[in-house]
Chain A
Amino acid sequence: MTVQTERPPSGPANVRKADDEGSGGPKQRAASRVGALAPYLLLLPACAATVLLLGWPLLKDLLLSFQNLNMTQLIQHVTEWNGVDNYKETLTSEHFWRVTLRSILFAAVNVALIMILGTLVGLLLARLGKRMRFTLLLGLVLAWAMPIVAATTVYKWLFAQRFGVVNWVLDKLGWHSMADYSWTSSQMSTFFVVTLLIVWGSIPFVAINLYAATTTIPKELYEAASLDGAGTWRSFTAVTMPFLRPFLYATTFLEIIWVFKAFVQVYTFNQGGPDRLTEILPVYAYVEGVGNQHYGMGAAIAVLTILIMLGLTAYYLRIVLKQGEDEL
């Protein structure tokens, strides 16, 4: 698995290709009209699926967000429009803004940890000897491959109040008050475990792909740099980083999306508890909408969640938008 970047991960190789395209282009353009339709035909199934399977639910959700839809209305199939009431109530509730702020902080901390640690592990992979690298790669792949539902269950067991191995270790390390500690009992401890779970599960993706990307950096670039008298750090900033930058942007974008949507981890670990203090936006939308059977309200929160996500990723989307057709 790899990451899509604005430039494909093979990097400079592609720059050369762009040139090829420049010379090969006109010939193609001379092709028949059917040829001109080809790309649209090839994209048709994907677009049809997106419109039908994503566009329709989105539209439905938008419509529901303007309705008073609770148990009664759902059961009796009645539509009760209530204008922007759901939005008004949500946007004026302090709880919603607290959850929003919390979600953003949560995403920021997780993404920062994932990207920094993931990059470091990826660079470490590049430095290791063959056998050690294989061992670490195996470990990373195992963690990466753990299905989230299973991983969350395992973390519950690791951090179980009674007989959990983490509490035992902390106790033995001299932290005796942790011997019978309930990790689900406070906001911070719950977030700590969930963050650990998410970071543990996400580092492999970043690390392995980053390692794969570094192997494509041409050796000549480093040789040239060292001829210019660049040290390790200088050649890292001058050669490695520029090469990896598009990859890092793209991965950060993906991680923001994935962490922001980390519904399963948060919900299965502690249902957003204790006292709703670890609810992030998707969990909040679920608890208010499905849990409290306030479906119209849930739909409004969902719409707002989508808007907030768009805001968070706007920077990256703008970079993509600014790029020329050729680079895209």
Chain B
Amino acid sequence: MKRSLFGRLWPNATAVVLFIGFVFPVYWMFSTAFKPAGDIITEDPVWFPTDFTFDHFKTATEADHFWSFVTNSLTVTVLAVVFSLIIALAGSFALARMRFKGRRGFVIGFMLAQMAPWEVMIIAMYMIVRDASMLNSLVPLTLFYMMMILPFTILTLRGFVAAVPKELEESAMVDGCTRSQAFRRVILPLLAPGLMSTSLFGFITAWNEFALVLVLNKDAEAQTLPVWLTSFQTVFGDDWGATMAASSLFAVPILILFVYLQRKAVSGLTAGAVKG
């Protein structure tokens, strides 16, 4: 098939425009964070900063308790994701590989669970945690975050488990493996990309959550980064340099994780599909 010059050109031209559109907010965040104040508050925007400063990052990280926010956020997010992956792996294996009564009921149940509008149930959750004397603790947060991402994780992993050829598992069992050995040695390695890409959703959800922390943990020592970022904004309302520095610091871990995991995950997904 021959394509005209226009036919070859427009997809690339559109892609460039789209690329700029998608990247610009991210670029603007970082560039504002590094620009000296004089280059931020100007009549004409400075598109490509030539002077760099770390002042804004200093302002942002000098906030009280900054490092305990970082530790808390990391702890809660990582634990929530790991727990949900473990629980979901077991569940999704059953849903994808086994036939049993009520299987459809479980799938629909998890689909419904995925719809839970957590923000509107905050007071109910608050009262439960309060009456259990668990306020200002990371435990309820971790548990609730795990639950927020669990349904999605189960349903998604189910697809990945199903995509692993059953023959592999069976031949392993013929070779003398037990079912759980077959699972560990054959299926789990093949599932790695799936686990990684599923965990991305968990990371971003748990990393972002702030409405619940705000109500459950009044003690600054038990709060997380999103609280810092949102309160920072009200205090430093128009100090955009510092606000963008704070946003950058908040976004960087997830950006790195995504860029790293997404490449593996997409290639893993396609590779898996080709093999299937």
Contacts and interface: CB of A to CB of B under 8 A. Distances in A.
- Tell whether any CB of A sits under 8 Å from a CB of B in the complex: yes
Contact of B115 (A141, A155, A295, A306): A306
Contacts of B273: 9-11, 13, 212, 215-216
Given A14-B162, A49-B87, A289-B123, A1 B265 contact: yes
Interface in B18-50: 18-23, 25-26, 28-29, 32, 40-42, 44-45
A218 B5 CA distance: 28
Interface in A32-78: 36, 38-40, 42-43, 45-47, 49-50, 53-54, 56-58, 60-61, 64
A105 interface: no
A263 B211 CA distance: 10
A254 B110 CA distance: 13
B66 interface: no
Contact of A149 (B41, B94, B95, B230): B230
A271 to B, nearest CB: 11
Contacts of A45: 87, 90-91
Contacts of A204: 22
A30 interface: no
Interface extent on A, as a size class? 35 or more
Contacts of B22: 139-140, 142-143, 200, 203-204
Nearest to A13: B276
A133 B16 CA distance: 10
B69 to A, nearest CB: 13
A2 B143 contact: no
Contacts of A230: none
A157 B123 contact: no
Given A136-B15, A257-B115, A155 B274 contact: no
A134 to B, nearest CB: 9
B25 A151 contact: yes
B123 A299 contact: yes
Contacts of A138: 19, 259
B192 interface: no
A58 B9 CA distance: 54
Contact of B117 (A128, A140, A261): A261
Given A132-B15, A290-B123, A317-B108, A3 B28 contact: no
- Give the most central of B121, B143, B207, B274: most A CB within 10 Å: B121
Contacts, number: 330
Contacts of B108: 317, 320-321
Interface in A274-292: 281-282, 285-286, 289-290
Contacts of B138: none
Q: Is the interface of A mostly helix, strand, loop or mixed?
A: helix
Contacts of A310: 112, 115
A202 B91 CA distance: 28
A5 to B, nearest CB: 7
B176 interface: no
Interface centre among B113, B120, B226, B238 (most CB of A within 10 A): B120
Contacts of A175: none
A216 B158 contact: no
Contact of A302 (B109, B120, B156): B120
Contact of A313 (B115, B166, B197, B211): B115
B169 to A, nearest CB: 10
A153 B40 contact: no
Given A212-B269, A216-B270, 17 more contacts: A4-B155, A10-B272, A14-B163, A20-B166, A20-B167, A40-B94, A124-B18, A137-B266, A148-B208, A151-B251, A263-B119, A281-B120, A299-B124, A302-B124, A306-B117, A310-B112, A325-B104
6 contacts: A49-B146, A129-B12, A145-B200, A158-B25, A290-B123, A295-B123
